[in-house]
Structure 1
Amino acid sequence: MAETVPDMRELGAELRNWGRWGPGDERGTTNLITPERVAAAARLARTGTVFDLGIPLDGDGPQPGGARINPIRLMSENGQEQVLPGGFRWADDYVFMPLQSASQYDGLAHVMYDEQLYNGRPAGSVTVKGAGYNGIHHQAKGIAGRGVLLDIARLRGVDWLAAGEVIGPDDLDAACAAQGVEVGPGDILLIRTGYRKKFLTERDPVEFMKGEPGLGLESARWLHARDVAVVGSDNWAVEVLPGEHDGALFELHMVLIRDMGMTLAELLDLEELAEHCAGDGVYEFFYAGPPLKFTRGIGSPINPLALK
């Protein structure tokens, strides 16, 4: 069945969650991760097997430079030329990096259109001081629960999908059926396109950032109908690029973040987890991925864990 490409603003108005959790809400769909759902998800950690989903924070990452660079780590002390009592010496370091240069969350102040952020907040509230509303620090307790992996690359029998390849509701339904898993309220949904494998194979940041496979606009209805809390992927923007409408940019970001209030997880490494899920046939797990508590931050680096 052919899937439609809706008008972005009409879709945003249809799926908008403004006021759903009160006029002062700054968390959006992570409100769907209730204590009861967290407790149930914790029971999915049956064997103690742990998968880290973050990519390394180093100079070999996918950023080609420009608006974002890969992390730069510098030593402030290395223990040399220190003369301290009892022979004690110490080393220390620090990092300079965009908060969204590696595995990271897009917070709810990251995207705006028509001069408004999520929940009707003014776009002008994002200033040189950061996010006046919807800062990433509001998510500090909210991103742990049932995780589900949908392996679209494996479903299509490829190492990775091509840039511009759209993942729509039919694909998501087919992956659920093939994997024997359902996606439901409060879930943290991870979509594997194979794009992390592409980067590790080619090691070409410029090529990696030219475009990507990802979710199409119609998938927003699918996510909304199931009350998904967070959606993430192994690509760099979750959504398909180039987009489905000529001349438009990041339309799914605008619907998911600005209208639905959904936090996005990007640049995840899902390779080890996907292999294990294919081996044991279990595509659900306990996901623990809190952001760093940057006050008024737009996003945050993360190293989420999947526990099976």
Structure 2
Amino acid sequence: MAEQHSMEDLLRDAPSNWGKWGDEDELGSLNYLTPAEVLRGVQHIRSGNVFTLQRLIGDPKGDPVWPGRSPAQRTMIFDESTWDSDDAPAFPGGLHYADDKIEAFLQGSTQYDALGHVWYAGKIWNGYDARTTIGGLDKASVAPIAERGVVGRGVLLDLARFRGRENLDKGETFDHNDLEACAKSQGIEIEKHDVLLIRTNFLKLFFDQGEQFYEGFNEPGLTYSPELVRWFQDREIPNLVTDTIANEVTYEPETGIALPLHCALMRNLGVALTEICDLEKLAASCAEDGQYTFLYAAAPLKVHRATGSPVNPLAIK
């Protein structure tokens, strides 16, 4: 029988930022994004070109979501046909209108994770008891991130182009050394407090393959090592943004543990995770003009006690 590994054993000696910003902190490494960091990001605006990074909700070709989640469902409530009925709403002057609603997983599109979204050993970010998640997140929900907003210098690390590929493959891994090498190849350096945007273009396979995409589901991405986690801590990275569904390789190759970086980076260091971004137009622009740094700005929706929230991040070059 294969040896069983636990998250607690894997991360027993992992670095932690618990208490760094006080016992009541719910923002984690986003605290690094001070007003000075906002101004540092502004300095990287050259042309004023704006790129929106959210994937379309209700894409006719389908919406990629984590296995087990269902895509958003938009339902029309009122449209012109409503007024074919004799009991339709009547407004002075003859106003007609359209109205619709959406039913969706809050993490079923481009979104921010709350810092309390994942945990192990009964503790979420900053040492809060995991039972504070029952019925909704009383601590470290997405609301404090949404209230604050996220603004700083963004850096695109185009791993797919760096490896000379259209997209990375299932289970393909890279680490902080690859990120550094990619940055160097793009003529930039990763600096303290940078928001890191990593392009794999893996979700191209979702649109190419349809449901076959989910067979043997194992995304490409960063893979756990103590050195990688220390790299994130030493560089005080506030936010990791990717174009994959879960920010990291799904199963850690050495142990088979699922999503250890969600725990090592988000639960332990307080790094905000942003997922399912569409980086294609931004990446094409960066490849064309050689400018891989920009002002990054994002504000997830303010949803009380939520585990995450949709977002449409901006990259302003």
Specify the SS of the correspondent of 2:93.
helix
Counterpart position of 2:20 = 20
Q: Structure 1 CA distance, aligned partners of 2:71 and 2:252?
A: 25
- Find 1:263's aligned residue among 250, 265, 272: 272
Range 182-191 or range 250-259, more displaced: 182-191
2:252 to 236, 239, 243: 243
Q: How does 1:126-205 map to 2 (within 5 A)?
A: 126-128=133-135, 130-140=136-146, 141-204=148-211
Counterpart position of 1:78: 79
Report Cα offsets for 1:4-23 as digits up to 9, x if no partner: xxx87565644200011111
Contact 1:61–1:70 (CA under 8 A) maintained in structure 2: yes
The two structures have a TM-score, normalised by structure 2, of 0.89
Q: For the residues of structure 2 that align with 1:85 and 1:189, how far apart are their CA atoms?
A: 53
Alpha-carbon offset, residue 172 of structure 1: 0.8
SS in 2 for 1:148: strand
Q: Which moved more, 1:200-209 or 1:34-43?
A: 200-209
Paired residue for 1:3?
none
* Inter-CA distance 208–273: structure 2 relative to 1 (3 Å threshold): farther
Q: Give the letter aligned to residue 57 of structure 2.
A: L
| TM-score, normalization by structure 1 | 0.92
Distance 1:209 1:266 in 2: 20
Question: Displacement of 1:83 after TM fit?
Answer: 2.9
Cα deviation, residue 208, structure 1: 7.4
The letter of the residue matching 1:62 is P
Q: CA RMSD in A?
A: 1.9
Tell me the equivalent position of 2:50: 50
Q: Is the 8 A contact 2:244 2:275 kept in 1?
A: yes
Q: Does 1:62 align with 2:64?
A: yes
Q: Larger radius of gyration, structure 1 or 2?
A: 2
Q: Is the 8 A contact 1:151 1:191 kept in 2?
A: yes
**Structure-1 residue corresponding to 2:243:** 234
Equivalent residue letter for 2:70 = I
Change (3 A) 1:205 1:283: farther
What is the aligned partner in structure 1 of residue 263 from structure 2?
A: 254
Give the direction of change, closer, same or farther, for the CA distance of 1:12–1:146 in structure 2 (3 Å limit): farther
* d(CA) in 2 for partners of 1:102, 1:51: 17
Total equivalences in the alignment: 300
Equivalent residue letter for 1:70 = P
Q: Deviations over 1:69-94 (max 9, x none)?
A: 11111122214324321121111111
Deviation at 1:199, TM superposition (A): 2.5
1:128-158 C-alpha deviation (Å, 9 max, x unpaired): 1x10100101002231211111011111101
Q: Output the amino acid matched with 2:224.
A: L
Instruction: Confirm whether residue 283 of structure 1 aligns to residue 285 of structure 2.
Output: no
What percent of counterpart residues are identical? 38
CA contact (8 A) 2:52 2:315 kept: yes
Deviations 1:173-212 (A, max 9, x none): 1101101112222221111112133323333464377111
SS across alignment from 2:203: helix
Give the conservation status (yes or no) of the 8 Å contact 1:51–1:273: yes
Instruction: Please say if residues 105 and 302 of structure 1, whose CA atoms lie closer than 8 Å, have aligned partners that are also in contact.
Output: yes
- Where structure 1 has 5 or more consecutive residues not aligned to the other structure, the ranges are 1-6
Distance 1:229 1:157, change over 3 A: same
